[in-house]
Amino acid sequence: MQKIVPSLWFDNQAEEAVKLYTSLFENSKILSEARYNAEGAKVAGRPEGSIMTMEFELNGQKFMALNGGPIFKFTEAVSFMVSCETQEEVDKFWNALTADGGQESQCGWLKDKFGLSWQIVPTALGKMMSSKDPKRAQQAMHAMFQMKKLDIAKLQEAYDK
């Protein structure tokens, strides 16, 4: 049993978000859903029978999504980092998560259309940044600061200069 489960508060898009997220990551699935009954709907101001919570897994990691109304919003203070082995993988996650109103940011960060922040990071970057050669690490970092979506080939080129 997983002791700590991140819970994501949505206005009313939990089902749409969960379906997107579970479609993107391997070993992912919807585990359960609970709907507002008459009493819960009245207290929460949500339609009776609408999705209240959804429990799901992304690559085996459990999450909870809640349709709790517009009271709370996501901020960049919490983000999910996705480690990618290839540029194809970076492109896949970046394109899917910025589609339909998502927002690109700097250095591999983005917000999806629900406002949730993600970091799409090539594993190669971590190796470059932790290099024992500070000059090479700095060159990779400088290249990263010039990018929104991270480009492994350009990072490697800067690292190898």
Nearby residues of 26 by Cβ (< 8 Å), 6 or more positions away: 59
| Pairing of β 7-10 and β 61-67 | parallel
Helix (H) or strand (E) holding 101: none
Query: pTM, whole model, 2 decimals?
Result: 0.93
Nearby residues of 19 by Cβ (< 8 Å), 6 or more positions away: 30
Crossing angle of the two packed helices 14-24 and 87-98, in degrees rounded to 10: 170
Q: Tell me, what's the pLDDT at 132?
A: 96
> How far apart are alpha carbons 37 and 51 in whole angstroms?
10
Fold of 1-72: 2,3-Dihydroxybiphenyl 1,2-Dioxygenase; domain 1 (3.10.180)
Q: Tell me, what's the pLDDT at 109?
A: 98
Fold of 74-161: 2,3-Dihydroxybiphenyl 1,2-Dioxygenase; domain 1 (3.10.180)
Is 53 buried (19+), middle (13-18) or exposed (0-12) by CB count in 10 A? middle
| Pairing of β 79-84 and β 29-35 | unpaired
SS (H, E, C) 29-67: EEEEEEECCHHHHHHHCCCCCCEEEEEEEECCEEEEEEE
Q: Tell me, what's the pLDDT at 31?
A: 98
Confirm whether 1-72 and 74-161 share one CATH topology.
Answer: yes
**Domain regions of the chain by residue span:** 1-72, 74-161
Let me know how long the chain is.
161
> How far apart are alpha carbons 155 and 159 in whole angstroms?
6
Q: Tell me, what's the pLDDT at 1?
A: 78
Low-confidence residues of the chain: pLDDT under 50? none
